[in-house]
Amino acid sequence: MKLTLLSIFAILARCAAASQTLTGQWTCVDSGAYELCQNLWGEDNGTGSQNATLYSASGDSISWSTTYTWSGGQYDVKSYSSVNQLSANGMLLSDITSAPTSWDWEYQEISSDLVADVSYDIWVGTTPDDPGSNTTTFEIMIWVSTEGGAGPLGSQVASDISVGGYTWNLYEGPNTYWETISFVTTEGNLNNFSSDLKDFFDYLVANYGLSSEQYLQAVESGTEPFTGSATLYTSNFHVVVNI
């Protein structure tokens, strides 16, 4: 088939429409069940740049990437480009029957000095929404990757625990208004992660004082770079909260 100049422009237009790249300190785009956000909340702690690209979203699945280069402030997180499941909030933990999730991701580019994590950031509090506010009581992080010695807030409180089909070291520490608890993989990069978030909620209710009568405020998933350069590509991310 011979391509005319007009048909080439049409193909390029369709490709452009199929993806959307976000730049700037705080920009978001909704697609399907998700919101993708370019959140450079810690950029003042170093020097660099970052963008996030939405590729596709269908049903409860989304594909996206983020590319960044950061230097300086080696112990400070620079950003959290992430996706937020728009309907994964407002329910009591006691009402959740399951929360299946899967995440297929890879580093397409990675510098030798990269310090970063790939993680879920889950918010629980006394109100149905408004995560990261004075109504938040717990921030639950699930680190499916840690590079270059990146470590979570707080101190280690448990080691080699089995939750959700994987093994973790557990960290805990106070944050602004809430307690941050981080499950950090002991199995290396979990590039094809599949689990049930309810297992993590149940573990914290049984062992760390999380109340099942509080609300799930948000389920976010993304990456926190400290220093270095990388392109993180998610071919498929999926989470659903069932009640």
**Structural domains of the chain, with CATH:** 21-239 (2.60.120.180)
Among candidate residues 43, 139, 179, 220, the one labeled active-site is 139
pLDDT band at 4 (very low <50, low <70, confident <90, very high): very low
Encode 80-116: b = buried (16+ Cβ within 10 Å), e = exposed. Answer: bbbbbbeebbebebeebeebebebbbebeebeeebbb
For residue 229, give the 3-state DSSP assignment. Answer: strand
**Known catalytic residue at 213:** no
Residue linked to tokens 């920009």: 27
State pTM to two decimals: 0.91
Output Rg (C-alpha) for the chain, integer angstroms.
18
CB neighbourhood size of 65 (10 A): 21
Neighbours of 14 (CB within 10 A): 9
Active-site position among 35, 43, 147, 224: 224
- Residue-wise pLDDT for 6-27, tens only, equals 333 333 333 444 689 999 888 9
Is 224 an active-site residue? yes
Which amino acid, residue 188?
G
pLDDT tens-digit series, residues 142-172: 999 999 999 999 999 999 999 999 999 999 9
Q: Which of 59, 79, 82, 76 lies closest to 68, judged by CA?
A: 79
Averaged over 113-120, what is the pLDDT? Answer: 97
Backbone angles phi, psi at 195, to 5 degrees: -160, -170
